[in-house]
């Protein structure tokens, strides 16, 4: 992949204080997808950075420039409003050339032989780092981390994947300056979260990279227990450093209250999230919806509103998913496009029930399941029965249960969700919120950041008192 790089662009937040060395520890947070990127990972990244700032750290985030995200899912500047004003954000002008839609920027090779061009791009990327699409970013990410460290030596590097090429920059800083680091793997690399099992062998180029980097990590974070257990078994020497740090919901996404369902005028079912699953899953849900509308008079006059990002680059809202949604418009299905973060709570507040469409199984959780659980609304699951989202929803008073993806069973779930929406009491809705409270995002991340802070800052303090230099902070 061809990458573009220019001198670092730093966006100091309002009120930023620049203390002298030793005043506050400094963490570099390598977070490709940080706000305002309109990506699901942005919520976790934002809270992680905020927690470090709240717990006494100066935080420098390294991500991509805003313009880079315009090629993918776009930007949502309402996400940035919740970023702690003390945090610095460094935007790198790296961009995915494969998502370029301006044909005037195409090379002759791309214009005449697009398939061969993309294949050549992927081969070149894999030569730099064993990750297609992003591997070519390795040199620029390494330079960026080293420059930020040179400007203000870091006491910790926090890196979150994907992309996994971030691990190369993490390792480079460790090799040259012995800056301790934590890897927030989220969904993991060598685990195939969709089909289960290993995604690649330990002796493959990717396997060697993963093993090398995890061996020196202070901690490895994963979003659920199945992924964490996979890594404990794959790398026994790292097992005691693997932590489950779940995703969660943000309080500002939870509606203050829910309106009363009106069965006479019909209900509104809602889906909110990226639509990046196979078209077959969406087709099963829409088929189940049609069947339920034929059988239930309340559903016959109800709506199903779908919100979120569909496709990227030239395929944004121009793919098989859009064809399915347009074909279902006569069945009360509406697609409203992406929803800004600031409008999420209002959407939940006007919907009567939620449809949770997810890929994968026991290794997949998703981020939206936590918002759904805390919304106070009935939740209809459209995913495999053995799915980690079912672990989160187990015991939820207004959950229809996991029945798989058979349209007939999904139709029954639609009918049940409609019944729950009409009959649920205020106490029932309060019970759903109480059930989800443990999954508040700050409740998940604050203890994890506190553990890292105690380990890294405590180590530096002890070494300083002994008259020996700390690992981090030395250029």
| Per-residue model confidence as pLDDT tens digits over 396-429 | 999 999 999 999 999 999 999 999 999 999 999 9
Which pLDDT value is given to residue 19? 40
Contacts of 467-470 with C-beta under 8 Å, sequence gap 24+, read 470/155
Same domain, 70 and 218: yes
Asked whether residue 335 is assigned to any structural domain, the reply reads yes
Question: How many angstroms separate the CA atoms of 410 and 403, rounded?
Answer: 7
Q: Is the pLDDT of residue 5 over 70?
A: no
Lowest-confidence pick of 201-215, 230-244, 251-265, 320-334:
251-265
CATH code, domain carrying 384: 3.40.50.2000
The answer to whether residue 327 sits within a structural domain is yes
For 3-7, 19-23, 77-81, which range has the lowest pLDDT when averaged over its residues?
Answer: 3-7
* 190, 222 contact by CB (below 8 A): no
**Where does the pLDDT of residue 462 fall: very low under 50, low under 70, confident under 90, or very high at 90 and above?**
very low
- For residue 468, pLDDT over 50 is answered with no
CA distance linking residue 381 with residue 165, whole number of Å: 34
* Residue 6 scores a pLDDT above 60: no
pLDDT of residue 99: 87
Q: Both 340 and 221 in a single domain?
A: no
| Confidence bin at 180 (pLDDT 50/70/90) | very high
Instruction: Give the phi and the psi of residue 16 in degrees, each rounded to 5.
Output: -65, 130
Cis status of the peptide bond prior to 11, with omega within 30 of 0: no
Q: What is the pLDDT of residue 187?
A: 86
Measured in whole angstroms, how far is the alpha carbon of residue 305 from the centre of its chain?
22
- Least confident residue range of 60-74, 226-240, 438-452: 60-74
CB atoms within 10 A of CB 117: 18
According to the model, what pLDDT value does residue 7 have? Answer: 40
Query: Rounded distance, CA 179 to CA 462, Å?
Result: 16
Residues 212 and 282 both lie in one domain: no
Q: So what's the pLDDT on residue 459? A: 62
Specify the higher pLDDT residue, 60 or 252.
60
Q: Are residues 32 and 47 in the same domain?
A: yes
Domain presence at residue 470: no
* Domain around 325: 251-438
In the chain, the number of structural domains is 2
Is residue 316 very low, low, confident or very high in pLDDT (cuts 50, 70, 90)?
confident
Residues 68-85, mean pLDDT to the nearest whole number: 91
pLDDT of residue 260: 87
Instruction: Flag whether pLDDT at 79 surpasses 80.
Output: yes
In a domain, 409, yes or no: yes
Question: Is 471 inside any structural domain?
Answer: no
**Average pLDDT of 222-231?**
96
Q: Does residue 3 lie in a domain region?
A: no
Residue 167 lies in a domain: yes
pLDDT at 314: 64
Query: What's the pLDDT tens digit per position in 197-222?
Result: 999 999 999 999 999 999 999 999 99
Q: Which two tokens stand for residue 61?
A: 């985030």
- In terms of domains, do 402 and 452 share one? no
Please give the average per-residue pLDDT across 52-63, as a whole number. 98
Q: Is the pLDDT of residue 12 over 50?
A: no
Q: Does pLDDT of 10 surpass 70?
A: no
Per-residue pLDDT for 119 more than 50? yes
Q: Identify whether residues 425 and 455 lie together within a single domain.
A: no
Over residues 212-238, mean pLDDT: 97
Mean pLDDT of the residues in the chain: 91
Same domain (yes/no): 167, 286: no
Tell me, yes or no, whether 203 and 271 share the same domain.
no
Give the pLDDT score at 22: 56
**Alpha-carbon span 131 to 144, nearest angstrom:** 19
Indicate whether 402 and 318 sit together in one domain. Answer: yes
Which residues, other chains included, contact 384 with Cβ-Cβ below 8 Å and sequence gap of 6+? 360, 361, 402, 404, 405
Shared domain for 220 and 351, answered yes or no, is no
pLDDT per residue over 304-315, tens digit each?
999 998 876 667
**138 and 228 co-located in one domain:** yes
For residue 29, give the H/E element and its range. strand 26-30
On the question of pLDDT at 14 being above 90, the answer is: no
Which pLDDT score is estimated for 50? 98
Q: Indicate whether 84 and 182 sit together in one domain.
A: yes
Predicted pLDDT of residue 23: 80
The DSSP annotation for 64-119 comes to E-HHHHHTTT-B-HHHHTTS-TT-EEEEE----GGG---GGG--HHHHH-HHHHHH
Residue 473 lies in a domain: no
- Under the banding of pLDDT at 50, 70 and 90, the label for residue 467 is very low
Q: Percentage of the chain with pLDDT > 90?
A: 81
Computed on alpha carbons and rounded to an integer, the radius of gyration of the chain in Å comes to: 23
């Amino acid at each position: 992949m061809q990458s573009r790089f220019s001198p670092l662009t730093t966006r100091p937040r309002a009120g930023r204080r620049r203390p002298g060395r030793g005043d506050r520890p400094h963490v570099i947070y390598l977070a490709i997808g940080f706000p305002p990127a309109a990506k699901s990972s942005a919520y976790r990244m934002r809270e992680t950075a905020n927690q470090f700032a709240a717990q006494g750290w100066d935080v420098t985030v390294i991500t991509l420039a805003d313009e880079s995200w315009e090629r993918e899912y776009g930007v949502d500047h309402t996400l940035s409003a919740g970023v702690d004003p003390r945090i610095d954000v460094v935007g790198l002008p790296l961009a995915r050339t494969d998502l370029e839609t301006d044909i005037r920027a195409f090379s002759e090779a791309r214009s005449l032989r697009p398939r061969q061009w993309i294949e050549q791009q992927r081969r070149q990327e894999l030569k730099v780092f064993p990750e297609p699409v992003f591997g070519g970013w390795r040199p620029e990410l390494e330079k960026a981390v080293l420059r930020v460290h040179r400007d203000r030596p870091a006491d910790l590097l926090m890196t979150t994947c994907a992309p996994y090429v971030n691990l190369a920059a993490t390792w480079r800083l460790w090799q040259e300056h012995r800056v301790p680091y934590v890897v927030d793997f989220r969904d993991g690399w060598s685990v195939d979260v969709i089909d289960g099992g290993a995604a690649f062998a330990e002796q493959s180029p990717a396997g060697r990279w993963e093993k090398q980097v995890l061996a020196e990590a202070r901690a490895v974070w994963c979003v659920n227990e199945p992924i964490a257990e996979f890594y404990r078994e794959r790398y026994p020497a790292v097992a005691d450093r693997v932590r489950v740090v779940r995703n969660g919901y943000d309080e500002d996404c939870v509606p203050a209250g829910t309106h009363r369902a009106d069965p006479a005028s019909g209900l509104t079912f809602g889906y909110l999230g990226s639509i990046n699953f196979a078209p077959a899953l969406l087709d099963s849900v829409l088929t189940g919806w049609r069947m339920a509308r034929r059988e239930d008079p309340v559903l016959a006059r109800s709506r199903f509103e779908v919100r979120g990002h569909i496709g990227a680059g030239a395929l944004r809202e121009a793919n098989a998913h859009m064809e399915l949604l347009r074909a279902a418009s006569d069945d009360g299905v509406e697609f409203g496009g992406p929803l800004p973060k600031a409008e999420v709570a209002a959407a939940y507040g006007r919907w009567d029930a939620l449809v949770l469409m997810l890929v994968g199984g026991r290794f997949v959780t998703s981020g939206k399941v936590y918002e759904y659980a805390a919304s106070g609304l009935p939740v209809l699951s459209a995913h495999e029965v053995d799915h980690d989202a079912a672990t989160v929803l187990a015991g939820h008073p207004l959950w229809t249960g996991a029945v798989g993806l058979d349209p007939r069973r999904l139709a029954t779930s639609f009918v049940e969700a409609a019944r729950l929406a009409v009959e649920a009491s205020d106490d029932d809705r309060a019970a759903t919120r109480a059930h989800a409270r443990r999954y508040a995002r700050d409740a998940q991340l604050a203890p994890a950041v506190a553990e890292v802070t105690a380990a890294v800052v405590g180590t530096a303090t002890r070494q300083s008192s002994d008259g020996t230099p700390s690992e981090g902070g030395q250029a």
